[in-house]
Amino acid sequence: MEKIGVVVADEFHLLHDISRGPTLEVLLSRIRHSQPEAQLIALSATVGNSQDMADWLDAKLIQSNWRPIQLHSGTLTGLNVKIHRIDGPDNVEWPEPRMIEGRNTKRLQAVLDDSYSTGGQMLVFVNSRASAQKEARELSKHIRKQISDGPIKYDNELIDEWEKIAERLTRREDTSVMGRALSQAIRGGVAFHHAGLTHSQRKTVEEAFRQGTLLAIVATPTLAQGVNLPAEG
């Protein structure tokens, strides 16, 4: 440890994690005690109390407000969408409140249809793996029904890409229940993402979303902590 000159602590917000936080805190404290001259660089995109963290490390806080896309924060009441905050350039034009088309009892499906119709994608966060798989399955069924007899027309090349990804996953992975469920969901342009997937499955889902192939991902909060997937819609 005497030769260490720079320490990079990525995903620094994990300091607040119940299981991993104490280990990270002890490790950093030991490094600071034994190697006080070493430069410590802590990185996080989601830490809330960044100034407190910087003070604890006796470090300089460097913040960046850059975003790959504008972030619109709003509410969906029934089928009425209203934007309350925009993170991005100051001179942006605020969208007017509007109604989206769809059934009030199937609002998530209505939002997905609206996102696709406006050229966007959708990220949905739920609190459990089971919920992620269930919601992805339902959204995928909805898209496949739309392809058969719905008012929204989907590009045939896009549908073919979904099938190719699903077949690739089926060939590459064993015929596990998880693998079959993921492949079936992707055939409708939707995937789920959680810690129960293999590394290969997660990378396939993330890359397909980045390329604009997948319409939506339903995920547990771990996706928001460690993966940068800009969704515009």
Distance CA 202, CA 213 (A): 15
Percent of the chain with pLDDT over 70: 91
The count of C-alpha atoms lying within 13 angstroms of the C-alpha of 65, restricted to the half-sphere facing its C-beta, is: 6
Domain residue spans in the chain?
Answer: 6-57, 70-99, 104-226
Digit-coded pLDDT (tens) for 8-41: 998 888 888 888 889 999 999 998 889 888 899 9
The three-state secondary structure class of 26 is helix
- Superfamily of domain 104-226 in CATH is P-loop containing nucleotide triphosphate hydrolases (3.40.50.300)
| Contact between residue 189 and residue 162 where contact means Cβ atoms under 8 Å apart | yes
Digit-coded pLDDT (tens) for 110-151: 999 999 998 999 999 999 999 999 999 999 999 999 998 878
pTM score, two decimals? 0.74
Predicted confidence at residue 148, as pLDDT, reads 87
**Beta-carbon contacts of residue 44 (< 8 Å; ≥ 6 apart):** 10, 11, 12, 13, 50
Q: Where are the alpha helices (DSSP H) in 118-229?
A: 129-149, 156-172, 177-186, 199-210, 222-226
